[in-house]
Amino acid sequence: MDRSIIKCDFLMNLSNKRLVLPGDHLSSYEEAEPGENSYGELDEVYSCAVGQFEEAGGKAAVKSPGRVLEKPRVGMEVYCVVKRTSPSKALLLCMPAAEVEGKGRGLSFDAALPVNGIKNAYVKEVSDEVRIGDIIRAKVRAITSKGVDVSTVSVDCGVVHAFCVRCRNPLAAVGSGYACGECGNKEQRKSAQGQNKPLI
């Protein structure tokens, strides 16, 4: 075989087997649409996984060893840690429930829990129902250009692990609220029914 053809094949393979990381640019929408483990933003396609870049059939995909990585989608169940709260929303770091429960793989992402997405009743301030450091189970409600919004309105969503705001000790569910075994502090949360099992 012509050596130049072999060299050409080798170079083609090299460029086809490019290792990409989450956030790496894969192509423009004109060249290819997002496929497996990739997403589109502002007419460009990016990777959301570590893996091998592949472009075929008009789709830019990233082949990842093991199972397909789940990316945020509306309805996805997530576990989150509350990083910050303001009166109108809580800022969370989320992980797909499938990853936490060992049934799939996913990447963590930031999301907001708006005060009107906490429960099916009026909540004046986020800190009435959710506090910093709590671990909550939630569902992705919307994905917009501003980011991901989650909701804990479902009965199986809400706080799964609450921590005392005074001493950071894990709180125990007592009646319809929570109590701290260390300092006796009593607190309130929107709790997730049937989900108060240890994660860690």
Closest to Zn ion by CB, 185 vs 195, is 185
Nearer to Zn ion, 156 or 182 (CB): 182
For the CB of residue 175, give the shortest distance to Zn ion in the complex, in Å: 17
CA distance 143 to 149: 6
Instruction: Say which residue the tokens 């997530």 belong to.
Output: 78
Place of tokens 């004109």: 30
For residues 130 and 149, what is the distance between their CA atoms, to the nearest angstrom? 15
Q: Name the minimum Å distance from CB 170 to Zn ion.
A: 9
Q: Which is nearer to Zn ion, 9 or 182 (CB)?
A: 182
Q: Which residue is associated with the tokens 């309805």?
A: 75
Residue 133 or residue 147: which is nearer to Zn ion going by CB? Answer: 133
Q: How far is the CB of 161 from Zn ion (least distance, A)?
A: 14
Contact positions vs Zn ion (CB under 5 A): 164, 166-167, 169, 180, 182-183, 185
- On whether the CB atoms of residues 153 and 186 are closer than 8 A, the answer is no
Q: How far is the CB of 160 from Zn ion (least distance, A)?
A: 18
**SS3 at position 15:** helix
Say if CB 184 and CB 177 are below 8 A apart: no
CB 126 within 8 A of CB 86: yes
Smaller CB distance to Zn ion: residue 7 or 166?
A: 166
**Minimum distance from residue 189 beta carbon to Zn ion (Å):** 14
Contact status, residue 165 vs residue 128, Cβ threshold 8 Å? no
